[in-house]
Structure 1
Amino acid sequence: MKTFITLFFGFLVVVGYSQEKKYVTVKKSVPLMGESFGITVVAVNEELGYINIEEAAAEINRINKLISSWDSNSETHKINENAGIKPVKVKMELFALIERAIQISEITDGAFDITFASKKNVWQFNGKMKYPPTKEEISTSISSVGYRNIILNKEEQTVFLKKKGMRISFGAIGKGYAVDKAKALLMSNQVISGVINASGDITTWGTKVSGEKWLLGVADPVSNYKILTWLPILESSVSTTDVYEKYVSFKGEKYGHILDPRTGSPVRGLKKATVFAKSAELCDALVTAVLVLGLDKGVSLINQLGGTEAIFVDDNNRIHKTNGLILDNAILK
């Protein structure tokens, strides 16, 4: 029996095969963090498999309560409420996540920025916009954005947002972090193999008992129902983002929902990107950043990072890749 998990350019699948008879593959779709998480585990019996899945779901819920900017009881909410007022003492887990987010902002020249939650929503991707925002409106909308205004005090374990009105959000890194934590929990509980798919952020570990790897199917950028090639993955993660998953059109031109936090404008030139790395958290953050950076800078950045690869689809449906990723030349147009 095969297990299919939807992912990539409209249709990317992860495929695993039946384990030896002493193992069973158990899978369940669970609503978590406002998304549908597909969790698959290999267990000695079905009952234990479902217990493992519930444990993973509980861990993801724990992370969500920690990082949610909407939960009035979360430390993230308290940080935002005290922007421009005072530092907030937080758990080391949250402090470390914010610290890593700032590091990603630095290596991406601000293309990734958790303070982008501070922006005013001058772009609407719900079909209600009749005119594009003016340059002045766009500029004003990001006046409180800027990761350099996050002040961390490691000794006091506090986080302070310098400007009133500033906010942080983990929308571009939180799912990946939650996936990593759930995977770590399951592995610590001796779950030998599995897949966690958080609507585009995915991680795998282990293999079939035969030693065969999980496979990722890379879909045709034009036809969502055609697989171009298969990539084996082992102890790895992947994240994908589609610029035009939500969009608005003016005078026949599409503007996608991925905005550059440095300019407040929709990104141009790329339609989709997928990033491969060991950490789902890193994949989640980088896939947004490379779309903002564009093809040349995005490829250059990924090529400089060890153990990280990426696939890009440009606005002309051409597929591009980073140096270490092996794809059939026939699919590179």
Structure 2
Amino acid sequence: MGSSFDVSIVAENEALAENYIQQVFEEVIRIDLLISDWKPNSQISEVNKNAGIKPVKVDKEVFDLTKRALQFSEITNGAFDITVASMDKIWSFDGLMDELPTKEAIQKSIENVGYKNVILNESESTIFLSKKGMKIGFGATGKGYAADKGRELMLKLGIKGGIVNASGDLASWGRQPDRKSWLIGLRDPFKNGAILRTFPVRNAAMCTSGDYQKFALIDGIRYSHIINLKTGIPATGLTSVTVLGPEAETANAFSTSIMVLGAEAGLQLLNNYPDYACLIITEDNDIITSKNYKKVLKNLNTDN
């Protein structure tokens, strides 16, 4: 998935821990082989190759992941969209880009983007991309989903506590060996290496989207690597969005969506999902939290 995974579990001894951790890695690899749009033999790559040609039959797991992603597109009115993979790469976030692309280039870059052109057939378990040149990818939910599945596997095997961390998108459960809650740190985007806040959690997921590592600074405006697919222009205004809740896949989708929607619309969206809370950091270093923030943190630091 182009990301590093770190796994911590509570086990009776090191040998057992290594065995269980290896099973988590095998689960992550299994998922990657299904949904990676970089691996030519994955089911998602097969879907992308047949864009505008024919539907492709996929496993129920892949179908359901795609269905949930499209549901996020619906509730966010397209702020979240797995067809972002279709976009022509006209933006660079390596620090070298110093002027905006032309309006023509921007418009052309999003010609094949649009979640409504992803056609699902549940009875046949097929995915069809109706326009040639379309692609789908799970860069915004795949890591969170893998973290959730790693946690699910460990719970089935009776592991009482641990964390599956997919490059900052993580799922935790249980407690540390000393019976204390897990302590998760949130990086300060304005102070290199500093921790802004820590969250004591037991059964929780936490995902952060931000522009402080990958962005373009043009005419004094910082453009995020997260792009508003309606306009073809990167999101601005927010530096970081952290979402906490029970599932990493969902938290991951919300954090990406809120970066695009902005603070006001993002908070309104999250009001409809009381199990999830967010902490937003604006480009002016203002901190905004959802109204249920303290309640959700309390719930996530209890034994379920």
Change (3 A) 1:128 1:50: same
Report deviation, 1:224.
4.4
Report the Cα distance in structure 1 between the residues aligned to 2:142 and 2:185, rounded to whole angstroms. Answer: 25
Q: Partner residue of 2:238?
A: 270
Residue number among 154, 166, 170 corresponding to 1:202 in the alignment: 170
SS in structure 1 at match of 2:292: coil
Q: Partner residue of 2:109?
A: 141
Report the Cα distance in structure 1 between the residues aligned to 2:261 and 2:232, rounded to whole angstroms. Answer: 13
SS in structure 2 at match of 1:238: strand
Range with greater deviation from structure 2 (220-229 or 176-185): 220-229
The alignment covers a number of residue pairs equal to 295
Give 1:192's aligned amino acid: K
Give 1:38's aligned amino acid: D
Matched, 1:251 2:241: no
Preserved CA contact (<8 Å) 1:149 1:163: yes
Change (3 A) 1:220 1:122: closer
Report the Cα distance in structure 2 between the residues aligned to 1:79 and 1:220, rounded to whole angstroms. Answer: 39
Report the Cα distance in structure 2 between the residues aligned to 1:254 and 1:130, rounded to whole angstroms. Answer: 11
Report the Cα distance in structure 2 between the residues aligned to 1:244 and 1:145, rounded to whole angstroms. Answer: 26
Report deviation, 1:266.
1.1
Report deviation, 1:241.
1.5
SS in structure 2 at match of 1:51: helix
Report the Cα distance in structure 2 between the residues aligned to 1:252 and 1:114, rounded to whole angstroms. Answer: 30
Matched, 1:132 2:105: no
Report the Cα distance in structure 2 between the residues aligned to 1:206 and 1:224, rounded to whole angstroms. Answer: 30
Range with greater deviation from structure 2 (135-144 or 55-64): 135-144
SS in structure 1 at match of 2:151: helix
Report the Cα distance in structure 2 between the residues aligned to 1:118 and 1:255, rounded to whole angstroms. Answer: 20
Preserved CA contact (<8 Å) 2:274 2:292: no
Q: Which runs of 5 or more residues in structure 2 are unaligned? A: 296-304
Report the Cα distance in structure 1 between the residues aligned to 2:94 and 2:191, rounded to whole angstroms. Answer: 25
Residue number among 92, 104, 108 corresponding to 2:72 in the alignment: 104
Report the Cα distance in structure 2 between the residues aligned to 1:216 and 1:57, rounded to whole angstroms. Answer: 21
Aligned-residue RMSD, C-alpha? 1.6
Matched, 1:237 2:208: no
Matched, 1:76 2:44: yes
Change (3 A) 1:148 1:34: same
Report the Cα distance in structure 1 between the residues aligned to 2:190 and 2:84, rounded to whole angstroms. Answer: 31
Report the Cα distance in structure 1 between the residues aligned to 2:196 and 2:258, rounded to whole angstroms. Answer: 23
Change (3 A) 1:249 1:230: closer
Report the Cα distance in structure 2 between the residues aligned to 1:136 and 1:85, rounded to whole angstroms. Answer: 27
Report the Cα distance in structure 1 between the residues aligned to 2:174 and 2:94, rounded to whole angstroms. Answer: 41
Change (3 A) 1:72 1:39: same
Q: Partner residue of 1:279?
A: 247
Preserved CA contact (<8 Å) 1:247 1:257: yes
Matched, 1:170 2:138: yes
Preserved CA contact (<8 Å) 1:244 1:257: no
Report deviation, 1:145.
0.5
Change (3 A) 1:287 1:69: same
Change (3 A) 1:229 1:266: closer
User: 1:7-46 alignment to 2 at 5 Å?
Assistant: 33-46=1-14
Change (3 A) 1:75 1:227: closer
Report deviation, 1:90.
0.6
Q: Partner residue of 2:124?
A: 156
Preserved CA contact (<8 Å) 2:222 2:236: no
Q: Taking every aligned residue pair, what percent have the same amino acid on both sides? A: 43
Q: Deviations over 1:20-79 (max 9, x none)?
A: xxxxxxxxxxxxx32221110100111000000000000000000000112121110110
Range with greater deviation from structure 2 (307-316 or 208-217): 208-217
TM-score by length of 2: 0.92
Matched, 1:292 2:260: yes
